Amino acid sequence: MNKTDLSVYTTGNYSTGAGVVKRTLWYFVNIVFFISPLIPVSSLKIALLRLFGAIIGKGVVIKPAVNIKYPWKLSIGNYSWIGEKAWIDNLDQVKIGENCCISQGAMLLCGNHNFRKSSFDLITRPIVLEDGAWVGAHSVVCPGVTCKSHSVLAVNSVATRDLEPYFIYQGNPAVKTKERFID
């Protein structure tokens, strides 16, 4: 399968993965408990995410003002961190590994539109952050990208392709700038 062939990923039969009642309930829970900066308690947010079908590990921190589209399409590994005003727009599956960091204002975007079609069909692809990956503040991870083990997407960068393990990427589109060494 060719990754550049957009027709392969076009989802004319897109499914949110939940009925209208569940989506509506989540919409209001998301506004009150997640998007609102007034509730800083991670344990409550984690319980609500699990209630709506997310798979969440232990020691996960979710800061205030985080926006999550569909928790039933989300898994977060142990000891990962979601920073203030991060947006997980998971129209498709998002898998965040262990010890990952999604910094403040970062965006994980699983959807786009097929500009080659007059119908502007929705295209969705999953995002994977492998263990130890770090998405810097105000950075964007595009549909279908895998941030491999311990890769770093630097502040205000855009990942349009997979990031290799133990490398730091920067820019728009992000390019490999140097190797990451961990003590």
Confidence at 12, pLDDT banded by 50, 70, 90: low
Residue-by-residue DSSP string for 144-164: T-EE-TT-EE-TT-EE-SPBP
| Residue 15 scores a pLDDT above 90 | no
- What is the pLDDT averaged over residues 94-102? 98
Measured distance CA(151)–CA(111) in Å, rounded: 22
| 4 assigned to some structural domain | no
Measured distance CA(114)–CA(8) in Å, rounded: 11
| 59 assigned to some structural domain | yes
| Residue 10 scores a pLDDT above 70 | no
Alpha-carbon distance values, 56 to 49, 87, 97, 108, 137 (Å): 8, 17, 10, 17, 22
| 154 assigned to some structural domain | yes
- What is the pLDDT averaged over residues 87-112? 97
- What is the pLDDT averaged over residues 55-73? 97
**How confident is the model at residue 75, as a pLDDT?**
98
Q: 74-88, 104-118, 129-143: which range is least confident on average?
A: 104-118
| 144 assigned to some structural domain | yes
Measured distance CA(148)–CA(183) in Å, rounded: 18
**Number of domain units in the chain:** 1
Contact present, 79 and 56 (Cβ < 8 Å): no
| 151 assigned to some structural domain | yes
Strand partners, 61: 81
Residue type, 44: L
Phi, psi of 86 (to 5 degrees): -70, 150
pLDDT in tens, 120-138: 889 999 999 999 999 999 9
> Which structural domain range is residue 109 located in?
18-178
Q: Would you give the distance in Å from CA 20 to the centre of its chain? A: 23
| 3 assigned to some structural domain | no
Confidence at 119, pLDDT banded by 50, 70, 90: confident
| 11 assigned to some structural domain | no
**For position 75, which CATH number holds?**
2.160.10.10
End-to-end CA distance of the chain: 39
Long-range contacts of 30-34 (CB under 8 A, 24+ apart): 30/67, 30/68, 34/62, 34/65, 34/66, 34/67, 34/68
| Residue 139 scores a pLDDT above 50 | yes
pLDDT in tens, 21-47: 999 999 999 999 999 999 889 999 999
Measured distance CA(169)–CA(134) in Å, rounded: 10
**Tokens standing for residue 115:** 């500009």
Residue type, 160: T
